[in-house]
Amino acid sequence: MIRFEYVSPSSVKQALGLLSANWGEAEILAGGTDLLALMKDYIVTPKRVVNIKQLPGMHAISTEDDGLLIGALVTLDRIADAAQIRRDYPALAQCVGDAASPQIRNMATIGGNVCQRPRCWYFRNGMGLLPKNPDGKSMVIEGDNRYHAILGNEGPAHFVSPSTIAPMLIAYGARVRIAGPDGERELALEKFFRIPASDTEREHNLKSNELVTEVVLPSAENVRAANYEVRQKASFDWPLATAAAVLQMNGSTVQRARIVMGAVAPVPWVSEEAAQAIAGKTIDERTATAAGEAAVSKARPLSLNKYKVKLAAVAVKRALLVAVGQPVPDLHARQRGGAA
Ligand SMILES: Cc1cc2nc3c(=O)[nH]c(=O)nc-3n(C[C@H](O)[C@H](O)[C@H](O)COP(=O)(O)OP(=O)(O)OC[C@H]3O[C@@H](n4cnc5c(N)ncnc54)[C@H](O)[C@@H]3O)c2cc1C
């Protein structure tokens, strides 16, 4: 074991003072379901672990004028069970309740969920976030890329963003509140994620001396929403493709849509193409299929993951159908979501 310092600050200010100006020197510990695995495998080797579990003001689900506030330390289990979330954001409650396993949801926090590191097997085996062969070529492009990205593949990053919850939060228009040495800032969750250009960068726009304190959800009155995940098996594993849809309706036609795909790109992938395909239309088999096709129209699959293009299109189509209360086939994929 590599020695590290373990600290448990009792205020956000104290916690910020213990973080480092450089990534890798200090790591934040929330539920630990991802960080501890990364440390046991020596993928991250911090000199200091900052346990934030006791920080005040980050454990509550509450309301304010802006909408619903979920403290970064609220566990997935509590989110899935919260009466207010089940009533006002039912597709989110279902999506969170479908993530991981009961034991993990009991420990995992929403702040940790949006900051969890990619599951890319090159990264998890210590070859880096943007792994390269000795000749400088991408190991992912040349190697086994069956679970990698089909969108956002233009740069050196080919892993997929691991959170199944972030796409649903983004579809609902979530923002994150961030505390740092210069005070607080707020960011649309969509803008929180980024595609790193080098191995030393992270997959989000957090600085190494900042922490996420809250997730803010705007009111979701009069929307219909659903999340649909295609998984290899009905078990606690990351899905192969997901789609979250939030629709503002005018009668039976779509006024505005937010469609966000997961497990297809290095960031949660907001599909303007799919949203445009259904704007002003009624959702039925035909329009939902067209939206799915539009969502993957710019896909650039790698050598072994062309199958994901079809799965992603189907995920979008089925999320839309579930959102408007239409039945979808539930073959090997599990049906998720629900109309709000
Ligand atoms: C078997 C298995 C199946 C899983 N399936 C799914 C799934 O289907 N869908 C899904 O979305 N996830 C899944 N997960 C991932 C799981 O949801 C995450 O590990 C968990 O949400 C991370 O939360 P945590 O509180 O344990 O974070 P930690 O492990 O404590 O931290 C994770 C990362 O976030 C950073 N961090 C934590 N909190 C903050 C904060 N407030 N501000 C800034 N940085 C922070 C840490 O430094 C670390 O880098 C699965 C995990 C396992 C082990």
For residue 314, count CB atoms less than 10 angstroms from its CB and return exposed for 0-12, middle for 13-18, buried for 19 or more. buried
Higher-confidence residue of 64 and 272: namely 272
- pLDDT averaged over every residue in the chain: 95
| pLDDT higher than 70, residue 300 | yes
CB of 46 shorter than 6 A to ligand 1? no
The per-residue pLDDT for 330 is: 62
Give the SS3 label for residue 70. Answer: strand
The fraction of the chain above a pLDDT of 70, given in percent, is 96
176: β partners: 187, 215
CB of 96 shorter than 6 A to ligand 1? no
Instruction: Kindly report, residue by residue over 275-299, the tens digit of the pLDDT.
Output: 999 999 999 999 999 999 999 999 9
Q: List alpha helices for 56-109, DSSP H.
A: 76-81, 83-88, 90-98, 102-107
CB of 118 shorter than 6 A to ligand 1? no
Instruction: Kindly report, residue by residue over 222-276, the tens digit of the pLDDT.
Output: 999 999 999 988 778 899 999 999 999 999 999 999 999 999 999 999 999 999 9
Q: Which numbered atom of ligand 1 lies nearest the CA of 29? A: 30
Q: How far is CA 139 from the centre of its chain?
A: 24
Report the number of secondary-structure helices (H) and strands (E) in the chain. 14, 12
Tell me phi and psi for residue 337, to 5 degrees.
95, -170
Model's pTM, two decimal places? 0.96
Residue from 321, 335, 264 nearest 291 by CA: 321
Q: Which numbered atom of ligand 1 lies nearest the CA of 164? A: 11
8 alpha carbon to ligand 1 midpoint, in Å? 19
Instruction: Return the structure tokens found at 331.
Output: 């073959």
180: β partners: 183
CB of 15 shorter than 6 A to ligand 1? no
The per-residue pLDDT for 237 is: 84
Which strand (E) or helix (H) includes residue 322?
A: helix 307-323
The fraction of the chain above a pLDDT of 90, given in percent, is 91
Binned at pLDDT 50, 70 and 90, residue 109 comes out as: very high
Distance between CA atoms of 228 and 230, rounded to whole angstroms? 7
36 alpha carbon to ligand 1 midpoint, in Å? 10
CB 52 within 8 A of CB 241: no
CB of 72 shorter than 6 A to ligand 1? yes
Ligand 1 atom 47: residue of nearest CA? 28
Binned at pLDDT 50, 70 and 90, residue 334 comes out as: very low
CB of 71 shorter than 6 A to ligand 1? no
Half-sphere CA count of 97, side-chain side, radius 13 A: 16
**Amino acid occupying residue 30:** A
Binned at pLDDT 50, 70 and 90, residue 325 comes out as: very high
Q: Where in the chain does DSSP place strands (E)?
A: 5-7, 26-29, 48-51, 61-64, 67-71, 175-180, 183-188, 211-217, 223-230, 241-250, 253-262, 269-270
Pocket test for ligand 1, best of 28, 106, 124, 334 (most atoms within 8 A of CB): 28
